């Protein structure tokens, strides 16, 4: 019996030793090409020319200095803001204007100028706004040496967030907005599945960095979540009594 047990132990140890000695192929050494792929190639987009204020080659040009054909009155009919000298100026008696085309996510470029003879204080000084998908307002206001409530300053999502900086140029000089907007996705019950977000850069300075928009822009009360699809860009004709601002070089790239 003892001999049998000894043989079994010896055989078990032999199998165990054989199992421990078994080897398997090792992973191949990494080579540069193993983490490279060549397709799909990014589409070629020709940048705009800064000297001529031209738009990128794939942009939707919303104003090229000649006419407001891309726009209409928010109340219907022709856009009646004043085009002159390659720019257009707010006509406060004509109300807001909106783009004829609707958009989802986009990169928006626009330039705006507060007149040198601007008057008024706080929100009653060069007030306008650009509405994304006609729902969410990015504030336009003369905040050069002009204080107002912090979440209503230039570059804010109006009444939702304080901008990271005040990057205003003085009246008579052109301000540049570059806005990157991601449109929302909705659940069946009308809530946000993916909330809208926005990055706002003014004159090369980040004012908002991928800010999550809470809902529609409301003058009184809290933001509301309202299901919607693509929407137009709206430019606001504010009811204050200050001298109207002007716009130029507006284009949009769909994303």
Give the pLDDT band of residue 8 (cuts 50, 70, 90).
Answer: low
- Rounded Cα distance between 230 and 209, Å, is 23
- Rounded Cα distance between 139 and 129, Å, is 5
What is this structure's pTM? 0.86
pLDDT (tens digit, 9 = 90+) per residue, 42-89?
999 999 987 888 899 999 999 999 999 999 999 989 999 999 999 999
Contact 197, 211 (CB under 8 A): yes
- For the chain, list the domains and their CATH numbers: 2-35 (no CATH), 60-254 (2.60.120.560)
Query: Taking 90 as the threshold, does the pLDDT of residue 93 lie above it?
Result: no
Give the pLDDT band of residue 182 (cuts 50, 70, 90).
Answer: very high
What are residue 231's DSSP bridge partners?
A: 103
pLDDT (tens digit, 9 = 90+) per residue, 107-127?
999 999 999 998 898 997 878
- Phi then psi for residue 39, to 5 deg, are -130, 150
Contact 229, 184 (CB under 8 A): no
């Amino acid at each position: 019996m003892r001999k049998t047990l000894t043989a079994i132990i010896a055989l078990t140890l032999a199998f165990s030793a054989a199992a421990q000695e078994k080897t398997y192929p090792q992973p191949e050494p990494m080579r540069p090409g193993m983490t490279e792929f060549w397709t799909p190639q990014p589409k070629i987009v020709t940048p705009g020319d800064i000297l001529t204020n031209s738009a990128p080659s794939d942009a939707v040009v919303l104003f090229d200095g000649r006419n407001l054909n891309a726009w209409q009155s928010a109340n219907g009919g022709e856009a009646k803001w004043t085009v002159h000298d390659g720019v257009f100026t707010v006509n406060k008696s004509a109300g807001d204007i909106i783009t004829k085309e609707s958009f989802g996510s986009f990169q928006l470029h626009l330039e705006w100028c507060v007149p040198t003879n601007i008057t008024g204080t706080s929100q009653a000084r060069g007030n306008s706004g650009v509405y994304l998908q006609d729902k969410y307002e990015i504030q336009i206001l003369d905040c050069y040496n002009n204080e107002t409530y912090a979440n209503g300053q230039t570059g804010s999502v109006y009444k939702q967030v304080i901008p990271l900086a005040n990057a205003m140029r003085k009246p008579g000089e052109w301000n540049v907005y570059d806005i990157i907007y991601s449109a929302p996705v909705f659940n069946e019950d009308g809530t946000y599945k993916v909330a809208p977000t926005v990055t706002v850069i003014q004159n090369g300075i980040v004012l908002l960095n991928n800010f999550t928009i809470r809902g529609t822009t409301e003058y009184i009360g809290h933001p509301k979540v309202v299901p919607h699809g693509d929407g137009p860009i709206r430019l606001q004709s504010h009811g204050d009594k200050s001298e109207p601002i002007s716009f130029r070089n507006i284009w949009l790239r769909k994303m």
